[in-house]
Copies of this chain bind each other. A is one copy, B any other.
C-alpha cells in the first residue's frame, strides 16, 4: 500500500472530537476507507489482517465446540422470509433486493437492467441466514440422533443502513453466524449461553476488551428470538458497543422452516434453534477501546505483526551489515512463541526514513517497534518502543536501549505484558465509569446531561416491565438518548423500587448511550 504523508500525530484528539478521531485513526492506521459504493468500505491490509487474526482464533473456538463450518447461499428467496412475520418486520426495511439477472445498454453508453431478464421471484441479499439455514436443517434433521446439529459460516451480509460508519455500521459487513438445532429448550439454551461465554472470553482475551454479558430487554431482541443475549463493551467516550449477540430462537424458525424430528418415543417434535454472531464491528471496538491520540494500539494477540524492525538505513555500504544484523534478529524473534503461537515479526525494508516509518507503525499500533542503527549493530544492541506506553507523538517516544539477546529472550513475555496492560487499562476505565448511585430519572438526566464529558453507564434496579409498560420506559429513556443495554448476568440483587414503575426492583439493568 502507498505510504501516506507521515504526520507525527493525528490531526484530532479524542477529547476534542471522538467521532472525528475515530475516522482519523481508521485513515492514518490504514485500516479501511470509503469505497465509493454507498455504505460499503474497502478493508485495507492492516485492517483485514486484524480480521484474519480474529477469524483464526475464533474459528478454533467454534470448531473446539463441535460446530462444523458450511457455506450457504448469499441469496434468499422472498418466500423464505415471508414465513416468519416478526423476522420480516425486523429486516424488510433494510434489504438489498436482486430483481434482474442481465444488463443491456441503455443506449446512452450506459447500462440498465434488462426488462426481459426480470426474476420471477426477487432474491434478497442475506441480512442474516436463519431462514435459508433453517430450510437446510429441515432436510438434515429427521431423528433425535441428528441432534444437536451445529453449523457455522464465515460470510458477508448486507443490511441497508441509512447512516453508516466504517466497521460499526456498514451496508455490507463480514461476520460469522453460528446456527444450531436441539431437541429441547434446555439444550438450546445451554448452547446459547456457551456461545455467549465464548464471545465474552474472546473479547476479554484476544481483544483485551472488557465486556458485560447478559440478556437484552424484550424490545431489543433479535427479530424472531425468544431471548437475546449480548456482550456490551464501553468505548472511551463512555458509549456502549454491542460487540456480539447470542439468541435462543425457541421453535420460531423451526416452525417456519419445518425443522421436525422423531424423538426417542417415536413422536414428531419441533427442534429448538439458536443463532449467534460477531462481525467486523469488533474492529471498531478495538479502535475505540485501545486507540490513543497517536493512533491505534492493537492487542498483541490480534496484531497482524507483533514486532516491526526498522533499520536506520544510511544508503551507504554500512547498510548491508545493518540489514544482516536486523535479519538475524528477525529470525531469532520468529522462533519465539507468545500466546502459544509463533511471534509475528516484520523487517520493514521499504524505502523511506526510519523515523518517518516509525510514525506510520505507531499509528497502526504495532505492539513493539525496534529501531536499529549502525551503532546498535556494532554494539549488539536494539532500541525498543512499547507502543502501549507511548503517549503523545509530539513528546519524545521512550525508546529503551537493550542488548539484542536480552530483548529477544524477553520479547514473548513483553508481548504478553502488553496484552495484559491494555486489558487492565480498559478494565479500570470501564469500572470507574459505571455508576450505581443513580436511582431515578432525575439522576439519569443529571448524569447524562450535555456538557458532562465522557459519562459512562448507569447500573440500576428495575421491575422488568413488559409490553406497553416497557414501551413507556423505552420512550422515557429515548428522550434522554439512552437505551437499556442488558441485564448483567453477574449483577448484585437489586434493592428498592423501580424508578419507572414504582414496583419492587427485580433485577439490575445497564443504561447507556450506545453505538
Contacts and interface: CB of A to CB of B under 8 A. Distances in A.
B48 A69 contact: yes
Nearest to A142: B2
A174 B1 CA distance: 25
Contacts of A33: 136, 139
Nearest to A141: B2
Contacts of A104: 92
A173 to B, nearest CB: 10
A476 interface: no
A379 interface: no
Given A92-B103, A102-B95, A37 B71 contact: no
A111 B76 CA distance: 12
B146 A2 contact: yes
Contact of A1 (B68, B74, B77, B102): B68
Contact of A125 (B43, B125, B160, B171): B125
Given A79-B110, A122-B113, A70 B48 contact: yes
Question: Interface on chain A toward B: helix, strand, loop, or mixed SS?
Answer: mixed
Interface in A53-81: 68-79, 81
Contact of A71 (B3, B48, B76, B158): B48
Interface string A101-124: 111100001111100000000111
Q: Which of A98, A124, A151, A351 has the most CB of B within 10 A?
A: A98
Nearest to A76: B37
A69 to B, nearest CB: 5
A45 B146 CA distance: 14
A143 interface: yes
Assembly stoichiometry (copies): 2
A132 interface: yes
A239 to B, nearest CB: 26
A44 interface: yes
A93 interface: yes
A74 B112 contact: no
A434 interface: no
Interface residues of A, number: 74
A96 interface: yes
A357 interface: no
Given A92-B103, A94-B102, A102-B93, A36 B71 contact: no
A99 B101 contact: no
A82 B104 CA distance: 11
A515 to B, nearest CB: 21
Given A1-B149, A70-B45, A95 B103 contact: yes
A111 B98 contact: no
A37 B68 contact: no
Given A35-B72, A73-B37, A45 B151 contact: yes
Interface string A358-380: 00000000000000000000000
Nearest to A41: B73
A95 B99 contact: no
A15 interface: no
Contacts of A145: 2-3, 351
A507 interface: no
A124 B139 CA distance: 32
A211 B488 CA distance: 58
Given A35-B135, A78-B103, 9 more contacts: A2-B146, A37-B76, A45-B68, A75-B171, A82-B109, A95-B101, A97-B98, A97-B100, A98-B125
22 contacts: A2-B143, A36-B77, A37-B75, A37-B123, A37-B132, A40-B74, A42-B136, A43-B70, A43-B71, A51-B71, A71-B174, A79-B110, A81-B111, A82-B109, A82-B110, A92-B103, A97-B103, A97-B113, A98-B98, A99-B113, A102-B160, A113-B122
| A-B pairs with lowest CB-CB distance, top 9 | A40-B73, A45-B68, A2-B146, A43-B71, A101-B160, A97-B100, A92-B103, A37-B73, A78-B111
Interface of A: 1-3, 33, 35-37, 40-45, 48-49, 51-52, 68-79, 81-82, 88, 92-104, 109-113, 122-125, 132, 135-136, 139-143, 145-146, 149, 151, 155-156, 158, 160, 171-172, 174, 351
